[in-house]
Amino acid sequence: MGPSSDTGTSLKSVFWGTFVHSTCNEAVQVLEDTAVGVDHEGKVRGLLCIDVYTSFIFFMPGMVDAHIHASQYSFTGTALDLPLLEWLNTYTFPVEAQFEDPEFAKKIYSQVVRRTLRNGTTTACYFATIYTETTLLLAEIADRVGQRALVGKVCMDRNDGASYYKESTEESMRETDKFITQLLGKGYPLVSPIITPRFAPSCTSPLLEFLGKTAKNNDIHVQSHISENRDEVNLVQQLFPDCKSYTDVYLKHGLLSRKTVMAHACYLSDKELEIFHKTGASIAHCPNSNISLCSGMLDVSRVMKHKVKIGLGTDVAGGYAPSMLDAIRRAIDTSKALTILDPKHQTLTFQEVFRLATLGGSQALSLDDQIGNFAVGKNFDALLVNVSVPDGPIDICNEEDPKVRVQSYIWFDALKHLFSSGDDRNIVEVYVAGRRVVPFDNTS
Ligand code: GUN
Ligand code: ZN
């Protein structure tokens, strides 16, 4: 188990053990007793079956958090008693306004990058704040610590609830250009910019149009929020009376493409989902946030029936947990709650939710040519999981002959244990592009 150096070939490391991942055909594929060769660029070069028995320890692909607000990490846990729009005015805007201060930003951004990485998030799609300089700092920290990330400078030229926290339209345009140029200029191998209109209610039409053109001209990712809460959907109808739907607002302003990811999407009509499918835009399902803020419950199977790409997000701090294991848990819970309300609803299997957290997230971010599973040619972004660490959260009864259990159902048991009660203690090592980034070294 673990890396060994390789001489005489172009491989840099060989990892051996059990590998659990998703493919397009199988939600969970288990490769027991397998060696994976990783080259000097951190990419998977080949898989080979060998004969080594490993018990409750396995590799799985790193998880993709398709929607998280790095700037909201310091007030995680506040979204339990207010609906979305009140919560934004009460907690979010006053704290995000503090991110003009580089010292404060550095402290919180370092914490969130390390915490999420330790919890197995090898790729994060981050909202920062409206401040360019400190958003660049978030990108620098992700690069240094070794997390793959899309980083967004938030754009908002309208904010009736908190007029101290917004930009003029020209400022938002200028700063977005500056942010993209400066971040691309850094040449970070793992970190890229993402255009980030906060959501339709906080942006005017000219700003949205500019952002759509900028995304297209530079072939850059876009992220925002959509149809999270009923009051928000009504507000969008009032603010954009010429648009047929919330989705139509983003469509009309050129913001939907295969590089677009929209968080929540609880109240989309079939027509809106069709637009998502046609444009290739994706959804970040954020179940913890949706329940905490009492926003809604997304029916993931309906989204999948429309062949819309979908991943999972923690949505810190609308969601109170910075862990993708929690997002997996909450996605299963939400799907079961929908089945309780309507027994005809198709409940998601835990295998399908595992796929959402890994391959699904990579597809949602249009990064599935690079990450998401252990296919040859992709980056080795991986977690080494030990389900039964001493003093960990999971006590496994070992009385049966483990070899017998292995042959019957152990890997599915182990995954179920991890998804129901595992935490960062079970994630013993984390790799991004073949580099071990957890445990942290002293320099990160
Ligand atoms: N909609 C607009 N901004 C936000 C935010 O910061 N969090 C959530 N959950 N929804 C939003
Ligand atoms: Zn959000």
What's the token pair of residue 41? 């660029």
Q: d(Cα 444, Cα 193) in Å, to the nearest integer?
A: 21
67 and 287 Cβ atoms separated by less than 8 Å: no
Residue 23: pLDDT above 70? yes
Helix (H/G/I), strand (E/B), else coil: 250: helix
Whether the pTM exceeds 0.90: the reply is yes
Residue type, 86: E
What pLDDT score was predicted for residue 80?
A: 87
Residue 412: pLDDT above 80? no
Q: Peptide bond before 439: cis, by omega within 30 degrees of 0? A: yes
Q: Tell me the average pLDDT across 145-152.
A: 98
User: How many residues are listed for the chain in this entry?
Assistant: 444
For residue 88, report the distance from its CA to the centre of ligand 1, in Å. Answer: 7
In tens, the pLDDT along 34-43 reads 889 899 999 9
Q: d(Cα 325, Cα 348) in Å, to the nearest integer?
A: 16
387 and 374 Cβ atoms separated by less than 8 Å: no
What pLDDT score was predicted for residue 323?
A: 98
What pLDDT score was predicted for residue 4?
A: 45
In tens, the pLDDT along 254-278 reads 999 999 999 999 999 999 999 999 9
**Ligand 1: nearest atom to the Cα of 318:** 9
- Least confident piece of the model among 167-176, 244-253, 271-280, 395-404: 395-404
Which of 434, 437, 433 lies closest to 189, judged by CA?
433
For residue 24, report the distance from its CA to the centre of ligand 2, in Å. Answer: 28
DSSP annotation string for 163-204: TTS---HHHHHHHHHHHHHHHHHHT-SSEEEEEEE--GGGS-
What was the ipTM of the complex prediction? 0.99
Write the secondary structure of 142-168 as one string of H (helix), E (strand) and C (coil): HHHHCCEEEEECEECCCCCCCCCCCCC
For residue 270, report the distance from its CA to the centre of ligand 1, in Å. Answer: 23
Residue 399: pLDDT above 60? no
What pLDDT score was predicted for residue 444?
A: 62
Residue type, 240: F
In tens, the pLDDT along 197-224 reads 999 999 999 999 999 999 999 999 999 9
The DSSP bridge pattern shows strands 310-312 and 282-285 to be parallel
Packing angle between helix 410-421 and helix 324-341, nearest 10 degrees? 90
Average pLDDT, the chain: 93
Q: Tell me the average pLDDT across 421-438.
A: 97
The closest ligand to the CA of 320 turns out to be 1
The closest ligand to the CA of 85 turns out to be 1
Looking at ligand 1, which residue's alpha carbon is closest to its atom 9? 318
Confidence band, pLDDT 50/70/90 cuts, at residue 443: low
| Pocket mutation for ligand 1, best pick of 69, 96, 225, 230 (most atoms within 8 Å of C-beta) | 225
What pLDDT score was predicted for residue 348?
A: 97
Percent of the chain residues topping a pLDDT of 70: 92
What pLDDT score was predicted for residue 402?
A: 52
In tens, the pLDDT along 344-372 reads 999 999 999 999 999 999 999 999 999 99
Helices (H), 187-293: 205-218, 230-239, 246-252, 270-279, 287-292
Helix (H/G/I), strand (E/B), else coil: 409: coil
What pLDDT score was predicted for residue 47?
A: 85
**Ligand 1: nearest atom to the Cα of 69:** 6
What's the token pair of residue 394? 């999971």
What pLDDT score was predicted for residue 389?
A: 86
- Least confident piece of the model among 205-209, 223-227, 393-397: 393-397
Residue 150: pLDDT above 70? yes
Residue 435: pLDDT above 80? yes
Q: Tell me the average pLDDT across 219-241.
A: 98
Which of 63, 110, 46 lies closest to 367, judged by CA?
63
Check pocket membership of 96 for ligand 1, CB cut-off 6 A: no
| Pocket mutation for ligand 1, best pick of 65, 68, 71, 88 (most atoms within 8 Å of C-beta) | 88
Which of 3, 2, 14 lies closest to 39, judged by CA?
14
